[in-house]
Structure 1
Amino acid sequence: MDSQRRYIAKGKYSTTPHDPSVGFLEGLDVLLWRHNLALAEVEHIVHGTTLVANAIIERKGACVGLL
């Protein structure tokens, strides 16, 4: 809870490289369920991902070039 008595929830969920929206939506569903919230009650969502960092470190992803 913050200083204005608003609830703050956070979570960390696996990246889904084939479709990043899948991991995001699954994580959101878990948070809503865990905290007994409806999406309509959520005012702000902050999202971060390690998708690019993972692709570079693992040397996976699409082949790209720069002209």
Structure 2
Amino acid sequence: MALKIIDDCITCDVCVPECPNEAIAAGGDIFVIDAGKCTECEGHYDTPQCKEVCPVDAIVPLAA
């Protein structure tokens, strides 16, 4: 499964360096997650690191 960033994103940039797969990039008004690269940090961490650091909870499952 993958994650996505919703419109609540404040483009603070804290999630970008946390992604071990380099799946997060600037995309217009908010950051975006490349679903093809996102593994929810599986194999690297127990929990998705971008979600851990996001100050506004703008990162949700792709299906949401």
TM range (shorter): under 0.3
TM-score (norm 2): 0.26
Query: In proportion to residue count, which structure has more strand?
Result: 2
Pick the structure with more helix per residue.
1
Give TM-score scaled by structure 1 length: 0.25
| Bigger RCO (CA 8 Å, 6+ sep) | 2
